[in-house]
Structure 1
Amino acid sequence: MGKLVLLHKADSIYEDEPDIVYDFPRSYLKAVDEAVCDWIVYYEPVKAGPRGYFAVAKIDRVIPKPGAEGRFLAMIEPGSFLPFDREVPRLISGRPLESALTGPDGTPKKGGAIQLAVRRLPEADFARIVDLGLPQDLERMEATRYDPQRDEVDDESKSFERPVLERLTRRPYRDVAFRRKVREAYGYRCAMSGLMLRNGGGRPEVQAAHIKPVADRGSDSVRNGLALSGTLHWMFDRGLISVAEDCETILVSHNKVPRDVVGRLLAPDGKLVRPADPRDAPHRDNLRWHRENVFGRALSGDPAPWETSG
């Protein structure tokens, strides 16, 4: 057991899928093997972009990469990946967050360890990075976000010290983190209607839908999420709507959804709104899972929103 920092960049020659798999050469095999069943932090190197430390995940197992001699795959434990609410900078007040990258005078070391794609991470460094990226009081921050004067919040939202690993595995905390990142990625706009609605207090009337549910080993990656209005979220979860193989055309189960409802709820061009950052776009494998396992299935007994009164 041992925690790691894993470097990731979008244009890498390695076939990384941060919420699914990490591709690495044999030179790092010993370190990654030691981290099986433990947590890692993802890091974007300087030349790849500005994000710094940007997510956390847990390694499930390591396997040889098929057809690639000397390469290995660290398989990410399903449901463990979680993007940071706030990307964590490489330096704070000019000092690295990793002790292995820090010189005796507190300034950054040059060369050596900083160039490694896989770095061992002491527990204290891990906890500090996670605390900065996923704040202890994230639930309270969200509960009071649009109502700063609110005096009472649910007990589960109150700020108190939680061990880092408890926070990373606690479903209510992860749901809040997922919701914040997905809605932000879409600019608080519904991905299927294109509308950005807010209530009288400024709260966005858009929800975060998992494309592949957590119960079915879906991740909390933004790529497994869609920002949807309440009605469209309901329809998506019940298989009345989905997304085509082109990852942008909205599919509708027309034998179950009246055409006038489609006209009122969906964007006129029938296309998904795309997130501002292409890295946040829905992953085609998650969309395919939804089409194959949810779209077109029989409705549950609860009435459709357009059938209810009021």
Structure 2
Amino acid sequence: MKAVFDTKPTSIYDDLQTEHYQFPRRYLNIVQRCENDWVVLRRPRADGGNLSYFAVAKVARIEQDPINPSMFYARYADYLQFDDPVPWRVEGRYAEEELRNIPQTQVGVYLRGRSVRRLSDEDFAALVASGLHRALSNTQSSGLLEGPLENITKALTSGLPEERDRKVKLVLTSRVVREANFRDLVCNAYEGRCAITGLYLADHAGNLEVQGAHIWAVADGGPDMIQNGIALTATVHWLFDRHLISLSDNYELLIADGKIPLAFRKFFGDPSKRIALPKREADRPHPGYIAKHRALFLAKNRE
């Protein structure tokens, strides 16, 4: 069963946006029905939230809190942030069927005590189509979804339930879509510039040369999230992936001794200065992911 999980950065619960959702016993029955299925994460109005849906994740398993037996954790897999937050209401129409079926004046009252609630498969597919619209538009040539995609929402939500669910699952697990989504989020956060060289390159059509580099590699367990990304020009991306360069905790550049020609190192500028970072602090590389990359950098350069 699909569901909506309401969560916010200053939640009183032990929520870790990309990894788990903590909830009290009263939600256990509904969350158990979501196990091995997908949920949409929504930020409520509290704490300055904009009542929008911002990501999807798969509920991989449910565990009881070892410290507080009245609390439980929904552990995530395949977390995927939307290209842009999806409004919970567009032109007076709510994204959730349960909210559409009650008087609009009663919606606020209805949501009290319902931070976890059922979401229909049809509404889930529509939210995925809206939330991943840019990524899906950028991957049309891959043939992931059969037929023309003039209307991505229609392409993803039409057909028999079994066919619709197959297409949605295909989109959410596709590396092609995830890479397109990741690159779009990261490159937009860095405004199309390489974080290390400062270069901004685009062709006549406006396509950016800069790439979205994973800090903690996906092959090693790294997530497709903006805090695990950094925008790098192609050659610098190559150096970063091979741990010839890395970052300090203060976002200063670390360079392997004797491995990079001086003629190229001039593009790095002063390595003791902090690299260029996204304006929004929430979009900046997570220290934990940087630490994982740096550990490999140090290990490889001791060999």
TM-score, normalisation: structure 1: 0.82
1:74 equivalenced with 2:58 (yes/no): no
Post-superposition shift, 1:104?
4.7
Alignment-derived partner of residue 29 in structure 1: 28
How do 1:1-310 residues align onto structure 2 when only pairs under 5 Å count?
Answer: 2-48=1-47, 49-50=49-50, 52-77=52-77, 80-104=78-102, 109-113=107-111, 115-135=113-133, 138-139=135-136, 141-142=137-138, 155=143, 159-160=148-149, 161=155, 163-246=167-250, 248-266=251-269, 269-297=272-300
Contact 2:2 2:38 survives alignment (8 Å): yes
Q: Are the structure 2 counterparts of residues 201 and 36 from structure 1 closer, same or farther at C-alpha, using a change threshold of 3 Å?
A: same
Post-superposition shift, 1:278?
1.7
Structure 2 unmatched ranges of 5 or more: 150-154, 157-166
Alignment partners' CA distance in 2, 1:244 and 1:269: 10
Deviations 1:220-244 (A, max 9, x none): 1111111111111111100011122
Post-superposition shift, 1:71?
2.3
Which letter does structure 1 place at the counterpart of 2:111?
Answer: A
Contact 1:51 1:87 survives alignment (8 Å): no
Structure 1 unmatched ranges of 5 or more: 145-152, 300-310
Identity %: 35
Q: Are the structure 2 counterparts of residues 243 and 15 from structure 1 closer, same or farther at C-alpha, using a change threshold of 3 Å?
A: farther
Contact 1:40 1:58 survives alignment (8 Å): yes
Alignment partners' CA distance in 2, 1:214 and 1:110: 40
Contact 1:52 1:90 survives alignment (8 Å): yes
Post-superposition shift, 1:254?
2.1
Which letter does structure 2 place at the counterpart of 1:13?
Answer: I
Alignment partners' CA distance in 1, 2:290 and 2:104: 47
SS of corresponding position for 1:109: helix
The more displaced of 36-45 and 7-16 is: 7-16
TM-score, normalisation: structure 2: 0.84
SS of corresponding position for 1:168: helix
Alignment partners' CA distance in 1, 2:63 and 2:225: 23
Greater share of helix residues, 1 or 2? Answer: 2
Alignment partners' CA distance in 2, 1:222 and 1:55: 12
